[in-house]
């Protein structure tokens, strides 16, 4: 089973500087996104090759940006916040690429422009069964046993109205 995760970073900077010494404050709660990368991809003995995660950096300045960590090809990243944060910091110094033009910055880490709607459209084209992670959703046991499953979640902030409208048609589940 291929598992995909999309996490929205409402305040996470999409370009500029990233303070590795204050990932929880100055950096728009980038710590939450980095922990999601850790939980998605890393196990005690290596990397989950059947999983990937897309970070949606929506805090500006400039256009929204997506950073895709592909577990199948990821290499050279240690499972600690500063290492992952360092990779993101290097990406934020670069201009945001055009939407859906995936630039491989380092092995298994891709940079592109766009927002959640672009990710969901891509997943739909690829036949991914999608679920919204929501505390008020149905029990996790209701998840279909599909070949490709995608989970959408937010950072420490609730979904905004545009996101709610975009996600309204997908089933909501709770862990």
Q: Is the pLDDT of residue 145 over 90?
A: no
Q: Is the pLDDT of residue 139 over 80?
A: yes
d(CA 147, CA 3): 9
pLDDT at residue 95, as a whole number = 95
d(CA 150, CA 24): 26
The Cα-based distances of 127 to 2, 52, 70, 146, 149 in angstroms read 11, 15, 18, 10, 9
pLDDT at residue 140, as a whole number = 79
Give me the phi and psi of 145, to 5 degrees please: -90, 80
State pLDDT tens for residues 21-39.
Answer: 999 888 889 999 999 999 9
Q: What is the mean pLDDT of residues 59-83?
A: 94
Instruction: Determine the angle formed by the axes of helices 30-41 and 81-92, rounding to 10 degrees.
Output: 120
**Mean pLDDT, all residues of the chain:** 94
Look up the pTM and report it: 0.95
pLDDT at residue 96, as a whole number = 95
Nearest to 49 by CA among 76, 77, 74: 74
pLDDT at residue 1, as a whole number = 75
CATH classification of the domain holding 112: 3.40.1280.10
Domain that includes residue 86, residue range: 2-174
Q: Is the pLDDT of residue 17 over 80?
A: yes
Q: What is the mean pLDDT of residues 81-110?
A: 96
**How many C-beta atoms lie closer than 10 Å to residue 160's C-beta?**
13
Number of domains the chain contains: 1
Nearest to 17 by CA among 71, 62, 54: 62
Give me the phi and psi of 11, to 5 degrees please: -105, -5
State pLDDT tens for residues 117-130.
Answer: 999 999 999 999 99
Q: What is the mean pLDDT of residues 89-97?
A: 96
State pLDDT tens for residues 98-116.
Answer: 999 999 999 999 999 999 9
Q: Is the pLDDT of residue 137 over 90?
A: no
Of 15-24, 108-117, 149-158, 162-171, the least confident: 15-24
């Amino acid at each position: 089973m291929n598992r995909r995760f999309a996490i929205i970073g409402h305040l996470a900077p999409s370009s500029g500087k990233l303070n590795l010494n204050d990932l929880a404050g100055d950096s728009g709660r980038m710590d939450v996104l980095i922990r999601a990368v850790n939980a998605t991809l890393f196990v005690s003995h290596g990397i989950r090759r059947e999983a990937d995660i897309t970070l949606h950096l929506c805090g500006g300045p400039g256009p929204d940006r997506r950073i895709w960590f592909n577990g199948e090809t990821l290499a050279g990243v240690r499972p600690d916040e500063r290492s992952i944060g360092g990779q993101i910091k290097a990406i934020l110094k670069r201009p945001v690429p055009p939407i859906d033009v995936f630039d491989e910055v380092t092995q298994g880490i891709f940079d592109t422009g766009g927002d959640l709607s672009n990710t969901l459209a891509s997943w739909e084209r690829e036949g991914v069964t999608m679920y919204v992670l929501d505390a008020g959703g149905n029990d996790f046991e209701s998840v279909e046993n599909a070949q490709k499953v995608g989970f959408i979640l937010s950072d420490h902030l609730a979904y905004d109205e545009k996101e709610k409208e975009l996600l309204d048609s997908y089933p909501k589940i709770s862990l």
